[in-house]
Structure 1
């Protein structure tokens, strides 16, 4: 029984898949302050035009430049594993596969878009990138990409993760990144928030505001902002994961996939695996596609599809997405990459179209699943990835009850070797489940809209 399926370097996909070409219905555009759709030129102070072109593109296939392929081949194609030992432990007839994105230099899927964004910025003449990071995976990835291309990198890291995961900062510094806790005293937004709530744990929405402020505030025009999730071009770059996985499953003799699973915070690793399979579902394939989020941050499972800003200071356009409200301050769970208030517009649209079935799981079940995985397959995964494993175990046990020989694939989005504090707290019994009530969700959304109800799309 083959445990690992590899591709040769000459089999790496040469194009990204753009799901915007195939989603049913009309895709809602981002809106400006006047409530009208924004033009590509309005994004120019924030992103280089070559990435803006990808953001608004409806072409199905977009070529990957050779310069980006050269960097991707440092760790890609990533292996596909058959989780034989987990299957045996669960006594399930299901076949379980996982795409191992932890093999990248930064230990997660994030470099797939980091090297692409850094490359396009350099081609456009940009010298410096600013960004935010939650758990530190994205900040690490962009620092690495900037090191490869000789760009400066400034990272605003959500304060609670900055304190929970100090070695992420060291990793960023190793690659030349400058990492500060957010909110910080380096921006107008940060100073104002610290003045109002000096003990705030921070949020990705705050960190995004700080990073954008520094980017657009550079009068030389040589700084741009890079985002690690949510936006269309980020989802695009990540589809290399699912495109590789489909080739590997074919090599393993798998003709049909029944369930595709990924953890979902902003949507990037989930979309990376799921979008190529969603293309098959749009074209008639019978596939269950599950984005899994924390019960403490239930965007897809508990909020309506509506317009909201991507950041606290409302510097981003209004995006069509499921959102807890841009002023939402998340609970300090250890899955820092899943604490974003909104979900990628393309993922949100796909859920609304009935192409995906979101699931929310409590963190104790996720940690238990991660421990089971570590004691069977041997890998210690990131707390974010543990959500995908928990959902996978649920589906595998369902197959055990029905006796169906299902094929399940999930995305192992990153390793947990810098998340040992969370595992230590779990094993010591110091973690607990956190949920948001309907009233708390409603209040969070109303606060973000100035006390007004949020209109649904």
Structure 2
């Protein structure tokens, strides 16, 4: 029955968090003021299309936020806590003294960590009486997760998917449609902003900026619709702290003292909208401030190198002005990222929180193209039998660089890589890009 919550299973949940961690108080300074100019303003738009509880999660009053029991039950049902995998065969192939761990979000039913926030947001939308979930998606992982979460709570779903990704990854569309979701390309002929973009650039490949604009404008015109974000906002980062909290508990069970002096331990994740990155490192920010020898590394795409080549300035995450202006690293509002296969990393503007961490020197960043990242993914498949998504391959490529530098310095760090997504629906991309020269 739609909305029925699973009541039992055979999984151990000793490391499944019962609360999300609000790490905003651990940031290295105050977030720059948000600009809400517009008529209606982005704040007024958000109040209409987002569930009230979600908006409250943007600024929680306490450091810890209880996870509702139905959300806990669904998280457990879909496979949380996810495994922390020691990549011993990869270590052997590299001949490294580093200990490499993969946080295996790729094993979840949609093949992605995105399900963590999708379940929470769908729950709150259903509790508020919303009937349709409307969202954008880049590579499709978030759209798949929203489609599945909608079915859990008896809701409809409509997803605006970046046009070039929809063409590259048709099986993600098939998955969403199997669950009853409607999938539209972005830029979309169904919205005024989409039609305007297509009139200017008929072969526009789309981007997360266009898809966000399409989804918000569509939700504004649809009764009882809730607009859900997959990344870039504090409430999504809050929900994704499951990642860092589970990693911390799992490493403790293994006797790993992450952040031991002089070892050069790293937490590594790809950086698109920042949700998997912030979810992993957020629970560790206080430890670093307190003196842990721990480094945070973001891996982005050379197609949208905001953190490594962008300008720190005010900008929006969408192209139509429905979202507020936040201070962040940006490629510019008119920047159209090339149609690379790592579609989840094709953002023109970085979030305020990720950008603050970068600006204050807490977060390091590197950028990779498709060839380098797919080569890393191929190596992992050959050694560990694990096939990662293109976005996750960027994090893996960054981790391989960390390990090589550590070996040159004769260090033996613990390196945790967030395996944020599965590559099983990206085999065509591996064929097109990842073949050996």
Name the TM-score, length of structure 1 as normaliser. Answer: 0.89
> Per the alignment, do residues 21 and 42 of structure 1 end up closer, same or farther by CA in structure 2, a change over 3 Å counting?
farther
Q: 2:329 aligns with which of 311, 322, 325?
A: 322
- Report how many aligned residue pairs link the two structures: 420
Deviation, 1:165, is 0.2
Residue 395 in 1 paired to residue 402 in 2? yes
| Greater CA drift, 378-387 or 315-324 | 315-324
Deviation, 1:9, is 1.3
Aligned to 1:441: none
Following TM superposition, the consecutive aligned residue runs of length 4 or more in structure 1 with deviations greater than 3 angstroms are 38-42, 427-430
Instruction: Write the deviation string for residues 18-75 of structure 1: whole angstroms up to 9, x where unpaired.
Output: 121221322123211169xx89666211211111111123532111111110110021
1:55 partner SS: coil
> Per the alignment, do residues 304 and 399 of structure 1 end up closer, same or farther by CA in structure 2, a change over 3 Å counting?
same
Aligned to 1:263: 270
1:328-339 to structure 2, matched below 5 A, reads 328-339=335-346
Deviation, 1:425, is 0.9
1:291 partner SS: strand
Aligned to 1:15: 19
1:357 partner SS: strand
1:184-333 to structure 2, matched below 5 A, reads 184-218=188-222, 220=223, 222-257=224-259, 258-333=265-340
Q: 1:59 aligns with which of 51, 59, 62?
A: 62
1:83-98 to structure 2, matched below 5 A, reads 83-98=87-102
1:326 partner SS: coil
> Per the alignment, do residues 29 and 122 of structure 1 end up closer, same or farther by CA in structure 2, a change over 3 Å counting?
farther
| Greater CA drift, 166-175 or 40-49 | 40-49
Instruction: Extract unaligned runs of 5+ from structure 2.
Output: 1-10, 260-264
CA contact (8 A) 2:311 2:329 kept: yes
- Structure 1 distance, partners of 2:104, 2:22, is 22
Aligned to 2:7: none
Instruction: Write the deviation string for residues 252-302 of structure 1: whole angstroms up to 9, x where unpaired.
Output: 110124111001111111111111122311222111100110122101111
Deviation, 1:429, is 6.7
CA contact (8 A) 2:86 2:99 kept: yes
- Structure 2 distance, partners of 1:39, 1:155, is 21
2:57 partner SS: helix
> Per the alignment, do residues 40 and 158 of structure 1 end up closer, same or farther by CA in structure 2, a change over 3 Å counting?
closer
Aligned to 2:262: none
1:212 partner SS: helix
> Per the alignment, do residues 9 and 21 of structure 1 end up closer, same or farther by CA in structure 2, a change over 3 Å counting?
same
CA contact (8 A) 2:268 2:395 kept: yes
